[in-house]
Amino acid sequence: MTTALAYWMRTHGVYLPELHSFLLSAVRTDRDIAFALEAFDRSFGEMRQTVLFTS
């Protein structure tokens, strides 16, 4: 699942290593964090549409 998330995040302009969790540093601005959150929201939505999750 982490590899899939990393792929989709990259399509939205956020580099996420495949085997690591989200790590943020103090040098990130509020705008950077908002950008990453938006990319996560889009990525998760696309992952759901492609049936990576089952209910």
**Does residue 45 lie in a domain region?**
yes
pLDDT in tens, the chain (55 residues): 788 888 999 999 998 887 766 676 788 899 999 999 999 999 999 988 887 776 6
Query: What is the residue range of 15's domain?
Result: 2-49
Q: Residue written as tokens 């956020």?
A: 14
Residue 54 included in any domain:
no
Q: How many domains does the chain have?
A: 1
Which residues touch 18 (CB under 8 Å, ≥6 apart)? 2, 3, 6
- The answer to whether residue 44 sits within a structural domain is yes
Distance CA 11, CA 22 (A): 16
Question: What is the pTM (predicted TM-score) of this model?
Answer: 0.78
Residue 7 domain flag? yes
Is 25 a domain residue? yes
Amino acid present at 32: D
Residue 16 domain flag: yes
